[in-house]
Amino acid sequence: MTLAPKNLQTIESHVLDLQRLHPSASGDFTSLLNDISFAAKVVSRDVTKAGLVEDILGATDEENVQGEVIQKLDDFAISVFLKCLGRRGQVCIMGSEELADPVFADTSQGTGKYIVVFDPLDGSSNIDANVSVGTIFGIWKRKSRLAQINQDDLLQPGRELVASGYIIYGSSTMFVYTAGKGVHGFTLDPSIGEFLLSHENIMTPFQSQIYSVNEAYEPRWSPEVREVLRQLKYGRGSKLSTRKDAPTEGAGMSSRYIGSLVADFHRNLLYGGIYLYPPTTSHPNGKLRLMCEAAPLALIVENAGGYASDGQRPILDVTPDDLHMRVPLYIGSREDVMWVETLLSKGSSAL
Ligand code: AHG
Ligand code: MN
Ligand code: MN
């Protein structure tokens, strides 16, 4: 019997196939995705041997604009992505979670077509414990044709995304992206240094059995959010009194929370699940960032049949007022997220 390899399609050839659907395409988008996948390989190489390389684990003594500690590997990942992206002048501007201001890509002298915003290392506070971390990216097209790009170019809603994706540095390294034609996952084969198609056309279950949230924040949530969580746990429509009575077994959902958004999102995308990061008293607008975390993942989840909401409206409809704007995030299986949105929109009358 001959053992045939499962699939030998690389990201490069997958994106080239997409490009062929647009005969007028210049190839800039294709080469930009290639740059991202190359940067991901470099970060993957260094993340997987982090404990072996001197002086790469642990925190720097710097904080980002939101006052969060920057890890050494954050710094490393940012510089890899800034170096690799847009080397052929495709990118005019890049924004990163850890950098206060957007960075102009000098290779394009401000003329590149694309805007890339990324979270270079999501979940980086977990890295010293060998927990999965990730990279998230969103690609928008500039609107103005002027050499000087303006605020409207940078601050676009998720609906305008051309493509988005994430890389998860887990038990294997995976690259998952959408350019509006399905969601596709590629697994890095370290022996040949290529991402090979392993998950074609990912569709997320419509309804799920998993919720992911940091429940320690319950005292910091609004009564409405507490009610949502109570019903996820004890069963939809369950009355408050069930908390004292023995809850019906199997009525509620299971809980899974890694504390690394990309890892929680990826598991829920494949198995079905809802991830929640509601507003808290310490983060009244939520903690997660619209442009580098919520919007790119919202595009992925919608293309996989799921849904993402800020509690009132689709995340993809939220226009950022700042590169680092935060939003509450409810994302995952469509039916579950819609149910949460409906319950939250009823406000205190649901209590
Ligand atoms: P980052 O490491 O990019 O700052 O993101 C951390 C995020 C996200 O990965 C995770 O889901 C969330 O923070 C966890 O927050 P809590 O520790 O508040 O639960
Ligand atoms: Mn993050
Ligand atoms: Mn980060």
User: What's the CA-to-centroid distance between 183 and ligand 1, angstroms?
Assistant: 24
Instruction: Indicate whether residue 125 lines ligand 1 (CB < 6 A).
Output: yes
Question: pLDDT over 70 for what percent of the chain?
Answer: 91
With a cut of 70, say whether residue 278 has pLDDT above it.
Answer: yes
Spatial distance between the Cα atoms of 236 and 218, rounded to a whole number of angstroms: 18
User: What's the CA-to-centroid distance between 288 and ligand 1, angstroms?
Assistant: 7
Q: Packing angle between helix 28-48 and helix 72-84, nearest 10 degrees?
A: 150
Instruction: Indicate whether residue 74 lines ligand 1 (CB < 6 A).
Output: no
For the segment 336-349, the average pLDDT, to the nearest whole number, is 89
User: What's the CA-to-centroid distance between 125 and ligand 1, angstroms?
Assistant: 8
User: What's the CA-to-centroid distance between 26 and ligand 2, angstroms?
Assistant: 32
Identity of residue 332? G
Task: Calculate ∠ Cα 81-87-90, nearest 5°.
Answer: 100
User: What's the CA-to-centroid distance between 261 and ligand 1, angstroms?
Assistant: 6
Task: Please say whether the beta carbons of 140 and 157 come within 8 A.
Answer: no
With a cut of 70, say whether residue 154 has pLDDT above it.
Answer: yes
Q: For atom 3 of ligand 1, which residue has the closest CA?
A: 122
Instruction: Output DSSP code: residue 10.
Output: B
Atom nearest to 258 CA in ligand 1? 11
Atom nearest to 126 CA in ligand 1? 2
Tell me the pLDDT band of 146, cut-offs 50, 70 and 90: low
Strands (E), 163-239: 163-169, 173-178, 183-189, 194-199, 210-212
Whose CA is closest to 287, among 37, 119, 81? Answer: 119
Q: Where are the alpha helices (DSSP H) in the chain?
A: 11-20, 28-48, 72-84, 151-154, 223-234, 261-271, 295-303, 334-345
For the segment 184-191, the average pLDDT, to the nearest whole number, is 96
Q: For atom 18 of ligand 1, which residue has the closest CA?
A: 214
Quote the mean pLDDT of the chain. Answer: 89
Whose CA is closest to 77, among 135, 116, 139? Answer: 135
Output the pLDDT for position 143: 84
Task: Please say whether the beta carbons of 82 and 24 come within 8 A.
Answer: no
Q: Among 66, 72, 128, 261, which is best to mutate for testing ligand 1, by the most ligand atoms less than 8 A from CB? A: 261
Instruction: Indicate whether residue 180 lines ligand 1 (CB < 6 A).
Output: no
β-pairing, 103-104 vs 91-96, is antiparallel
Q: Among 66, 277, 285, which is best to mutate for testing ligand 1, by the most ligand atoms less than 8 A from CB? A: 277
More confident call, 43 vs 245: 43
Output the pLDDT for position 238: 82
User: What's the CA-to-centroid distance between 118 and ligand 3, angstroms?
Assistant: 9
With a cut of 70, say whether residue 242 has pLDDT above it.
Answer: no
The protein residues having their C-beta less than 5 angstroms from ligand 2 (an ion) are 119, 122
Output the pLDDT for position 87: 79
Question: Where is 138: in which H helix or E strand?
Answer: strand 133-141
Output the pLDDT for position 89: 86
Instruction: Indicate whether residue 68 lines ligand 1 (CB < 6 A).
Output: yes
With a cut of 80, say whether residue 25 has pLDDT above it.
Answer: no
Atom nearest to 275 CA in ligand 1? 11
Contacting residues for 258 by C-beta, under 8 A, at least 6 apart = 123, 126, 131, 132, 212, 264, 267
pTM of the model: 0.93
With a cut of 90, say whether residue 176 has pLDDT above it.
Answer: yes
N residues, the chain: 351
For the segment 4-29, the average pLDDT, to the nearest whole number, is 85
